[in-house]
């Protein structure tokens, strides 16, 4: 099959890929988006587990680049469910007429930069080769599912599911004995729904997490109208706040309040619901004293809600709150008051293997009909590392990043040795700590302006300088080290082998500050990058 030539090839048709396609097409470039699924949506196409929702307030979980597009859409609930978000992304694809430029059911298998042609050559599992000047990853930071390699997984005679690859048809769990492994956002959202059907539900939990009550509800007509009126403010929040979303805050440290004042503010955010437990005080992420006030409040709530003191104690988180993403749930703690919902701490009784009839622990086997892996994703780097992407001289991302242990980027957007390759919401960007559409708009706009610069100045390639990567890595590490984040082992801290911290894979300085840095780099004629002039006949 002959080569298919485009100005740009984008991987993934989620929020990132859709907006990138729109921007570059508006610029007059020929673009092809390559998407593995048979529809748009990205993570929202796959993540169909019961109870799947977004944890950003829905009115912020949309594009703001077009006022017209924004004003045509109304969210039904305070927190949008997966089907509604998928509907929204289909609406966007239709409104912007994006589908003709997306090739579905196609997976990128290999991409390499041809240094003679100064073009990317992209191979797919459909045996096609795409050639493009610009190659952009919109695969997202949470898309490659993590199934821990437990021994005997194939021998299990019952049903097995991963929350991130849930079947499209309804899974009937009525009367079944269900084991769920993992209690991140997915597990915590799914469990109350599963508990309604299952005969027995057992959570196998490695680390207890902090769960704030969502208090999800239908939006009234007035609230929907207000979201439309507030367009300018919501758009403004995308670029001027640390998380790309407005959150309630007292504007003070907890240490500035007495115990009654602290409780009053915490009661207010607990009752209002949502993620504001993380923003109520200004220094929760950096001050151990404030952090203790907030985390102890949640532990007390757990004790108040769960009648069985032993179960409550097992669910007590002990790391610094907000150093792992705060989770919002609906009736999560409440389900442990039901006799058929149980919990086993894997720290006390670890999984040994999966058996024919259930999960074999060090002490005893939990017999079950269904195992649900709510074990998350190979976060940040997994999807990029899964593909075979080779820069100059055949250097792979795996080699460059030491198999993921030593991530190196400039601004989380680009890499040395990978000319004209851009990552949307890549590692060392702030995206996973933010309201994703806000981070995505900022990234896509920056890439779009960068491409405009190259085209206007007749430049063939742009490439991060090595020294820029070193400086950026240090900036990410220094910022993280001034917070409580590195005290907690999580996927935020990247690979952590033998307790050795290999670098922090997120820029924790906030989306607003990050934007200022990225804009300054652009304003200074893309400071920290090298360029090659366009050649004839490339």
**Contact positions toward ligand NA7, by CB under 6 A?**
142, 148, 163-164, 181-187, 206-207, 325, 346, 374-377, 491
330 token code pair: 């609906």
Q: CA–CA distance from 270 to each of 256, 277, 291 (Å)?
A: 20, 7, 16
Name the minimum Å distance from CB 210 to ligand NA7. Answer: 11
**SS3 annotation, 385-447:** HHCEEECHHHCEHHHHCHHHCCCCCECCCEECCECCEEECCCCCECHHHCCHHHHHHHHHHHH
**In this complex, which beta carbon is closest to ligand NA7, that of residue 148 or of residue 261?**
148
**In this complex, which beta carbon is closest to ligand NA7, that of residue 206 or of residue 392?**
206
Chain position whose Cβ is nearest to ligand NA7: 184
Q: State the DSSP H helix or E strand holding residue 192, giving kind and residue range, or none if neither.
A: helix 185-197
DSSP assignment of 308-327 equals -HHHHHHT---SPTTSS--E
Contact 432, 147 (CB under 8 A): no
Q: What three-state secondary structure class fits 451?
A: helix
**In this complex, which beta carbon is closest to ligand NA7, that of residue 120 or of residue 320?**
320
C-alpha radius of gyration, the chain, whole number: 23
**In this complex, which beta carbon is closest to ligand NA7, that of residue 288 or of residue 347?**
347
Name the minimum Å distance from CB 278 to ligand NA7. Answer: 13
DSSP assigned state of 281: B
**In this complex, which beta carbon is closest to ligand NA7, that of residue 17 or of residue 376?**
376
**In this complex, which beta carbon is closest to ligand NA7, that of residue 96 or of residue 361?**
361
The DSSP bridge partners found for residue 462 are 531
Contact 360, 352 (CB under 8 A): yes
Name the minimum Å distance from CB 132 to ligand NA7. Answer: 30
Name the minimum Å distance from CB 189 to ligand NA7. Answer: 8
**In this complex, which beta carbon is closest to ligand NA7, that of residue 206 or of residue 449?**
206
292 token code pair: 């203790």
Name the minimum Å distance from CB 348 to ligand NA7. Answer: 13
Name the minimum Å distance from CB 190 to ligand NA7. Answer: 9
User: Dihedral sign, CA of 269, 270, 272, 278?
Assistant: positive
Name the minimum Å distance from CB 164 to ligand NA7. Answer: 6
The DSSP bridge partners found for residue 102 are 33
Name the minimum Å distance from CB 343 to ligand NA7. Answer: 12
Burial of 87 (0-12, 13-18, 19+ CB in 10 A): middle
Q: What's phi and psi for 446, nearest 5 deg?
A: -65, -45
**In this complex, which beta carbon is closest to ligand NA7, that of residue 85 or of residue 521?**
85
Name the minimum Å distance from CB 102 to ligand NA7. Answer: 24
**In this complex, which beta carbon is closest to ligand NA7, that of residue 5 or of residue 316?**
316
């Amino acid at each position: 099959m002959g080569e298919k030539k485009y100005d740009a090839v984008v991987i993934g048709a989620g929020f990132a890929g859709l907006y990138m396609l729109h921007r570059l097409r508006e610029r007059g470039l020929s673009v092809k988006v390559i998407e593995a699924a048979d529809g748009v949506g990205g993570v929202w196409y796959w993540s169909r587990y019961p109870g799947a929702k977004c944890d950003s307030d829905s009115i912020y979980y949309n594009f703001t680049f077009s006022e017209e597009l924004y004003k045509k859409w109304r969210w039904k609930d305070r927190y949008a469910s997966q089907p509604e978000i998928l509907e929204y992304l289909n609406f966007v694809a239709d409104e912007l007429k994006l589908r003709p430029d997306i090739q579905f059911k196609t997976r990128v298998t290999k991409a390499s930069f041809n240094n003679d042609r100064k073009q990317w050559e992209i191979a797919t599992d459909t045996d096609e080769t795409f050639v493009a000047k610009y190659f952009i990853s919109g695969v997202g930071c949470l898309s490659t599912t993590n199934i821990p390699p437990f021994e005997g997984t194939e021998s299990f005679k019952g049903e097995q599911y991963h929350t991130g690859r849930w079947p499209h048809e309804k899974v009937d769990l009525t009367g079944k004995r269900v084991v769920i492994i993992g209690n991140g956002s997915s597990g915590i959202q799914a469990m109350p729904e599963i508990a309604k059907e299952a005969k027995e539900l057992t959570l196998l939990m490695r680390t207890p997490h902090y769960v704030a009550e969502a208090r999800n509800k239908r939006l009234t007509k007035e609230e929907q109208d207000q979201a439309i009126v507030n367009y300018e403010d919501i758009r403004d929040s995308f670029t001027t706040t640390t998380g790309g979303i407005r959150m309630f805050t007292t504007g003070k440290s907890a240490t500035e309040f007495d115990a009654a004042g602290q409780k009053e503010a915490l009661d207010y955010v607990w009752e209002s619901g949502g993620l504001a437990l993380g923003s109520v005080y200004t220094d929760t992420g950096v001050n151990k004293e404030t952090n203790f006030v907030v985390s102890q409040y949640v532990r007390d709530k757990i004790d108040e809600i769960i009648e069985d003191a032993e179960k409550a104690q097992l669910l007590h988180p002990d790391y610094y709150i907000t150093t792992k993403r705060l989770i919002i749930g609906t009736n999560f703690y409440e389900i442990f008051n039901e006799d058929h919902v149980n919990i086993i701490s894997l720290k006390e009784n670890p999984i040994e293997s999966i058996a024919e009839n259930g999960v074999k622990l060090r002490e005893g086997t939990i017999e079950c009909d269904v195992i649900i892996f709510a074990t998350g994703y190979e976060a940040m780097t997994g999807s990029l590392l899964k593909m075979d992407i080779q820069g100059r001289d055949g250097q792979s991302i795996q080699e460059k990043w030491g198999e993921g242990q030593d991530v190196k980027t400039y601004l989380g957007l680009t890499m040395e040795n990978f000319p004209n390759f851009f990552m949307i919401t890549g590692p060392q960007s702030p995206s996973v700590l933010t309201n994703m559409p806000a981070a995505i708009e900022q990234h896509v706009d920056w890439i779009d302006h960068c491409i405009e610069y190259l085209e206007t100045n007749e430049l063939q390639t742009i490439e991060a300088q090595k020294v820029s990567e070193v400086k950026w890595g240090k900036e990410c590490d220094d910022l993280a080290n001034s917070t409580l984040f590195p005290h907690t082992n999580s996927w935020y801290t990247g690979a952590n082998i033998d307790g050795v911290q290999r670098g922090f894979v997120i820029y924790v300085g906030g989306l607003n500050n990050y934007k200022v840095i990225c804009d300054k780099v652009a304003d200074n004629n893309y400071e920290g990058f090298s360029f090659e002039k366009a050649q004839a006949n490339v």
